[in-house]
Amino acid sequence: MKKSYPVRAVICGLGNRGKDTYARLSELLEGRMEIAAIAEPIEEKREYVKKRYGVPEEMCFETGEEMFARERLADVALICTQDRQHVGHAVAALKKGYHLLLEKPVAVSLEDVRLIEETAKEYERSVVVCHVLRYAPFFEQIHAAIERGDVGEVVCIQALENVGYWHQAHSFVRGNWRREEESTFMLLAKCCHDLDYLVWLTGQRCARVSSFGSLRHFCRENAPEGAAPRCTAGCRAKENCPYDAEKIYLTDEKTGILAGNTDWPCKILNQEPTEESIREAIRTGPYGRCVYHCDNDVVDSQIVNMEMENGTLCQLMMTAFTAHGGRTIRVLGTHGTIEGDMEENTLRIQPFGKPEKVVDVAKMTQDLTGHGGGDGRMLDELIRMHGETGVPTKRMTTLEASGESHYIAFAAELSRKNGGQAVELKDIRK
């Protein structure tokens, strides 16, 4: 295929992913990607992207519906809207002839996942799902070690999604993903990433799954004495509360504006965060609410047990109750083990009866930003495919490859809601 750059893209939704990840990354692609049009209902975000990336006024739309009503404006549509909007925007874009980069989850129901799959096939368009962990060097190295046979045949994999106490409070108690009816259930929203890389590492589909989990802590009955509805409304439990909004967004050494953080999560509270704007957002907005007096209903801890079709066992635990975010993993094989910590970007490969090998992933790349370097590599491969090769790479998270993670998520949620009863994946794939 003859090289064709720049690849023209439209961005539907200018939240954290659309505005601060993909639009920003377009600047680093050295003229290989051009933002042709944008759609976003919040004028402030729309104006910011329009000015920074030179999007013509007539190519700035308030809604995805308005943008996709026009004739095709570009090669690829980046669907970065809220979870429940994905299906409508994806189907409309596919019917207009766009290839897609589709944020996870693909959709919030099995029926809608299948609708997108069927529409993509009918209109012969490609869909790449933003399961960015496959592209991260950390998971690349684990996959390569398994493929080389460093640990023999994989018998078990244990994976831990450390959501982090403040991230849970930010996104899943106070934020946009706090209620299933407004977004989707926690496992699909947060952990379809993890389910996807487990499928990739094992090279297997899942045969059956069971799951347990609940909303254990972030509810009214656990509110400490003296807790107020808002963190700034005379809360007498403030001093000993790690979830206090002023701690998280103002004074924390990693997340607080007073420590110099003007990126996520502060940027969610205000497009151009300052101490004054963050204080005002905490005082009046949703991110200043007490975590024990919100309207959240998604789980804060969950465990998923999987038996893959070849007998390999996988276990994924997701929990809010960790000091730090990131992922840890143990791969247990017939001839050795792999232990990894994504936060530290280190792997320990221990063949039985042989010296341990320590892999420092940080020394293998200059860029570990954005899901351990996965964001940039995914977008680079997408642009390379549409501007050069015309075909996906082996690891590319096409809709066909990434659909399995969604089937597992739906099965696990069905199991969780039925007391942990095992669910056969063949019944979900029908």
Q: What is the model's pLDDT at position 29?
A: 81
* 214 and 335 together in one domain: yes
Q: Per the domain annotation, does 1 fall within a domain?
A: no
Q: Label residue 3 by pLDDT band (50, 70, 90).
A: low
Q: Per the domain annotation, does 381 fall within a domain?
A: no
SS (H, E, C) the chain: CCCCCCEEEEEECCCHHHHHHHHHHHHHHCCCEEEEEEECCCHHHHHHHHHHHCCCHHHEECCHHHHHHCCCCCCEEEECCCHHHHHHHHHHHHHCCCEEEECCCCCCCHHHHHHHHHHHHHCCCCEEECCHHHHCHHHHHHHHHHHHCCCCCEEEEEEEEECCHHHHHHHHHCCCCCCCCCCCCHHHHHHHHHHHHHHHHHCCCEEEEEEEEECCCCCHHHCCCCCCCECCCCCCCHHHCCCCHHHHHHHCCCCCHHHCCCCCCHHHHCCCCCHHHHHHHHHHCHHHECCCCCCCCCCCEEEEEEEECCCCEEEEEEECCCCCCEEEEEEEECCEEEEEECCCCEEEEEECCCCCEEEEHHHHCCCCHHHHCHHHHHHHHHHHHHHHHCCCCCCCCEHHHHHHHHHHHHHHHHHHCCCCCCEEHHHHCC
In degrees and rounded to multiples of 5, residue 64 shows phi and psi of -65, -35
Alpha-carbon span 301 to 303, nearest angstrom: 7
* 94 and 24 together in one domain: yes
Alpha-carbon span 104 to 192, nearest angstrom: 8
Tell me the average pLDDT across 145-171. Answer: 97
Confidence check: pLDDT of 1 > 50: no
- Of the candidates 79, 86, 78, which has an alpha carbon nearest to the alpha carbon of residue 107? 86
Q: Per the domain annotation, does 376 fall within a domain?
A: no
Whose structure tokens read 């939704």? 13
Q: Label residue 429 by pLDDT band (50, 70, 90).
A: confident
Whose structure tokens read 């018998």? 155
CATH, residue 154: 3.30.360.10
Tens of pLDDT, residues 285-334: 999 999 999 999 999 999 999 999 999 999 999 999 999 999 999 999 99
CA angle 189, 195, 199 (to 5 degrees): 150
Alpha-carbon span 269 to 286, nearest angstrom: 9
Confidence check: pLDDT of 284 > 50: yes
Q: Per the domain annotation, does 394 fall within a domain?
A: no
Please give the residue range of the domain that contains residue 267: 220-288
Tell me the average pLDDT across 191-216. Answer: 97
Q: What is the model's pLDDT at position 2?
A: 53
Count of the separate structural domains present in the chain: 3
Q: Per the domain annotation, does 317 fall within a domain?
A: yes
* 82 and 141 together in one domain: no
* 314 and 409 together in one domain: yes
Q: Per the domain annotation, does 377 fall within a domain?
A: no
CATH, residue 71: 3.40.50.720
Confidence check: pLDDT of 368 > 80: no
**Which CB contacts under 8 angstroms, 24+ apart, belong to 427-430?**
428/110
Q: Per the domain annotation, does 392 fall within a domain?
A: no
* 353 and 229 together in one domain: no
CB 280 within 8 A of CB 121: no
* 283 and 308 together in one domain: no
Domain-terminating residue out of 288, 312, 328: 288
* 143 and 164 together in one domain: yes
CB 35 within 8 A of CB 64: no
Sequence-ordered list of residues with C-beta below 8 angstroms from that of 411, at least 6 positions apart, any chain: 206, 209, 423, 424, 425, 427, 428
- Residue-averaged pLDDT of the chain: 94
Tell me the average pLDDT across 71-90. Answer: 96
Q: Label residue 386 by pLDDT band (50, 70, 90).
A: confident
CB 36 within 8 A of CB 74: yes
Most confident of 2-6, 213-217, 371-375: 213-217
Domain-terminating residue out of 271, 288, 305: 288
* 182 and 102 together in one domain: no
Q: Per the domain annotation, does 356 fall within a domain?
A: yes
* 17 and 31 together in one domain: yes
Tell me the average pLDDT across 46-58. Answer: 94
* 416 and 300 together in one domain: yes
This prediction's pTM = 0.93
Tens of pLDDT, residues 254-275: 999 999 999 999 999 998 899 9
Domain-terminating residue out of 125, 149, 171: 125
* 161 and 230 together in one domain: no
* 267 and 350 together in one domain: no
